[in-house]
Chain A
Amino acid sequence: MTEMAVGVSFRPGELEVRPDGSGNLLGSRCGSCGAHFFPVREVCSGCLSDDMETVGFSTRGMLYTYSVVRQSTPAFEVPYALGYVDFPEGVRIMGQISGCEIDEIGIGMPMVLSLEPFGEDEEGNPLTGYRFSPAEGIAQDPRNE
C-alpha cells in the first residue's frame, strides 16, 4: 500500500489519528468497575462513578452483524457495507466495511480498524475516518502490525 496524506480526524473526540497514519477509536474506561464505553462518557452507566479515563480501543475485533446499504443520505455514496464490530474491551462499534467484496462479508469475521480518507471539511481539506476491514487481508500490511 502506498503512503497517503494523513488528514485530520473526521471526529477527533472519537477517532485519534497520529501523524504516522495510525490511530485508535476513543472511548471511556471506568476506573471504578472497569467497564468500557464508546463514545466517551462522563459517568459510568454500570456503577455511576465519574472516575472515567479516555482510552484508545484495540484495533481488532469480530463482526457481529452487517448490511449493505443501498439507499442513504446524499452525504454517502451507495452501496456501502455497514457493520457492528465487537472489541475485546466489551464495546460494539459501528463502521463501514472496506477491503473486501460485499459477498465475502460474514458474521464472525475477524476485523481490523482501517484509517481511510473520509470526506472533507468545510474548506475542502481531506479528513481521515475509519472503516473495518477483514483482518487477514490487512494483517500483511506492516503499517498496521
Chain B
Amino acid sequence: MSDVHILGVGMTRFGKHPDRDAADLGAEALRGAVSDSGIDPRAIEAAYCGHVFQGMVTGQRILAQVGLAGLPLSNVENACSSGATAIREASLAVRAGEHDVVVAVGTEHLTTRFRGALTPDPSDPEAAVGATMPAVYAMRATRYMEEFGMTREQLALIPVKNKTNAAHNPLAHFRDKITVEDVLESRPIADPLRLHDCSPVTDGAAAVIVMSKRAAKRYGNGRAVRLTASALRTGTVDVEPTSMTFEPLTWATAQDAYERAGIGPEEVDFAEVHDCFSIAEVLRVEGLGLFKQGEYPAAVERGDADIDGSLPINPSGGLLGKGHPLGGTGVAQVVELVRQLRGEAGVRQIEGARVGLAHCRGGKAVGIEGAACTVQILVR
C-alpha cells in the first residue's frame, strides 16, 4: 500500500456566479491546482469529477476547457459527498499503482438548479409527504435539544463562529460577521432552524492534485501533504429505529479512517466538517469522536472550536460561511486542510496544525440513516 500525497490545490470564489457555468468554474479550480502544484499539466494521467446536478459528462467539459481532453475520467455522484468521493477515487487509483498523478475536481452551479430548500429525490416516500433537508435537520435539532438541553442560543453560536471564520476567507460566500441576535431574528425555515442556521445555495468549484510518493518526491519541493486515509461508507437500512442525535454512519466511517491512518481522534488538530446546518456540525463532531456526545454546544460556548481554540472546527467558514456548492464542497474542505497544514492560511492559520480531518455526508433516502459519508485525514 503506497502513500498518497496532495500537492496542488485550487478553488474558485464561492458565491453566486450568474455569468459562468459548472465547467467554467471547474476549469478555473483545476488550473489553480495545477499552478499551485508547479507541475506541467501534461503530467496529469487521469481525472475524477464530483458533481450532483450538472448533467452528463460535466468532467469532460472541464477537461476540454483546460486542454486535457483525452485522459481517462469518471464523473462521480454521491450527493453532498460527491467531491470527497472524487478525491477518494483518485487516491485509490494512485494507491493501486495505476497512476502517479491524478486530479480530483468538484463543481456545482447550484443557483441555476435550486432555489430555497433542497429536497430528497421526488420518488422518495419522505419527499412525498413534504420532507425538505432543513426539515430533517430541524427534527434532529428538536430531539437533540430535548435530550441534551442545548439552548437555541447555544446552537446560534455555530453560525456565528463559522461566519466569523468566513469573514477572514476571501473565497467565502459570506464575508460579514453576524451575532446571535442576527441568527435568532433571521427568517424561520423549519423550527427551530432559521436562515442563518442553513448553508446557502452556492456556485463554486475546487480541485486537488493527488499523487504517488514517487511523484511527490519528484514535484513536491517539500510542499506535498500526506493523505493518510480516505474512507467512504453508505448508510445501512435501519432494522429498528435508531437515535437521530448520534450518527452511526459518521462514526463507522471515521473508525475506518482512523484505523487506516493509524491516528485516533485525540490526535486531530482541526477539522472541516459537513455543517450543512448548524445542528449538523454538532452531530458531525460528536459522531467523529472529536467531542463527547452532548458536550459540543458547551464547548463552542467556551470557544474550544474557534481558530485559536483547543480543537478548531471549520476554520474555512464551513458550509455555513464559505458556502455549499454540493460537488465542490468536499474538495474545498481538503483545499483548506492543505493550506492550513502548509501554514498558508493567512489570518485563519491554526498554529502548529499537523493533523487535519475532513468530513462530508450527504443524501437522504427513506429508511437509511445517511446516504454517503466520507472521512479524510491529512498529515503534514
Residues of A within 8 A of B (CB): 10-11, 14, 35, 37-39, 41, 45-46, 64-73, 75-76, 80, 82-84, 86, 90-92, 94-96, 107, 129-130
Q: Using CB atoms, name the residue of chain A closest to B188.
A: A70
A35-B240, A41-B237, A64-B244 known; A72 vs B143 contact (CB < 8 Å) = no
Residue of B142, B146, B239 near A67 (CB, 8 A) is B142
Query: Across the interface, do A68 and B191 meet the contact criterion of CB distance under 8 Å?
Result: yes
A83-B139, A95-B129 known; A67 vs B366 contact (CB < 8 Å) = no
Query: Across the interface, do A71 and B239 meet the contact criterion of CB distance under 8 Å?
Result: no
- Supply 7 further A-B pairs (C-beta < 8 A) apart from A14-B125, A69-B190, A94-B131: A41-B367, A45-B237, A69-B132, A70-B191, A71-B134, A84-B139, A107-B146
Tell me whether B241 is interfacial, beta carbon within 8 Å.
Answer: yes
Give every chain A residue within 8 A of B74 (Cβ-Cβ). Answer: none
Docked pose: A35 CA to B151 CA in angstroms = 37
A65-B244, A67-B191 known; A82 vs B128 contact (CB < 8 Å) = no
- Complex interface bits, B120-140 against A, C-beta within 8 A gives 1, otherwise 0: 000001101111101100111
Docked pose: A39 CA to B366 CA in angstroms = 8
Give every chain B residue within 8 A of A80 (Cβ-Cβ). Answer: 130
Tell me whether B119 is interfacial, beta carbon within 8 Å.
Answer: yes
Q: What are 25 residue pairs bridging A and B, where the CB atoms are less than 8 Å apart in the complex?
A: A10-B128, A35-B239, A35-B240, A37-B367, A41-B367, A45-B236, A45-B237, A64-B143, A65-B139, A65-B142, A65-B244, A67-B193, A68-B190, A69-B132, A69-B134, A70-B187, A70-B190, A71-B117, A71-B188, A71-B189, A73-B116, A90-B241, A91-B241, A94-B125, A129-B128
Docked pose: A71 CA to B195 CA in angstroms = 10
A11-B128, A76-B130, A90-B241 known; A66 vs B190 contact (CB < 8 Å) = no
Residues of B within 8 A of A (CB): 116-117, 119, 125-126, 128-132, 134-135, 138-143, 146, 187-193, 236-241, 244, 366-367
**Shortest beta-carbon distance, B67 to chain A, in Å?**
41
Docked pose: A86 CA to B242 CA in angstroms = 10
Docked pose: A91 CA to B240 CA in angstroms = 6
**Shortest beta-carbon distance, B182 to chain A, in Å?**
18
Q: Using CB atoms, name the residue of chain A closest to B137.
A: A67
Query: Across the interface, do A46 and B130 meet the contact criterion of CB distance under 8 Å?
Result: no
**Shortest beta-carbon distance, B247 to chain A, in Å?**
15
Q: How many A-B residue pairs have CB under 8 A?
A: 105
Residue of B126, B130, B367 near A69 (CB, 8 A) is B130
Query: Across the interface, do B366 and A82 meet the contact criterion of CB distance under 8 Å?
Result: no
Most buried by B among A67, A72, A83, A92: A67
Give every chain B residue within 8 A of A92 (Cβ-Cβ). Answer: 238, 241
**Shortest beta-carbon distance, A25 to chain B, in Å?**
10
**Shortest beta-carbon distance, A59 to chain B, in Å?**
16
**Shortest beta-carbon distance, B137 to chain A, in Å?**
9
Give every chain B residue within 8 A of A130 (Cβ-Cβ). Answer: 129
Q: Using CB atoms, name the residue of chain A closest to B118.
A: A73
Give every chain B residue within 8 A of A86 (Cβ-Cβ). Answer: 241
Residue of A64, A67, A90 near B240 (CB, 8 A) is A90
A67-B138, A69-B132 known; A46 vs B239 contact (CB < 8 Å) = yes
Give every chain B residue within 8 A of A95 (Cβ-Cβ). Answer: 129
Docked pose: A95 CA to B2 CA in angstroms = 49
**Shortest beta-carbon distance, B300 to chain A, in Å?**
22
Query: Across the interface, do B126 and A94 meet the contact criterion of CB distance under 8 Å?
Result: yes
Query: Across the interface, do B239 and A45 meet the contact criterion of CB distance under 8 Å?
Result: yes
Give every chain B residue within 8 A of A11 (Cβ-Cβ). Answer: 125, 128
Query: Across the interface, do B117 and A38 meet the contact criterion of CB distance under 8 Å?
Result: no
**Shortest beta-carbon distance, A128 to chain B, in Å?**
13
Docked pose: A56 CA to B82 CA in angstroms = 37
Query: Across the interface, do B125 and A67 meet the contact criterion of CB distance under 8 Å?
Result: no
Docked pose: A75 CA to B129 CA in angstroms = 10
Give every chain A residue within 8 A of B238 (Cβ-Cβ). Answer: 45, 92
Docked pose: A95 CA to B238 CA in angstroms = 18
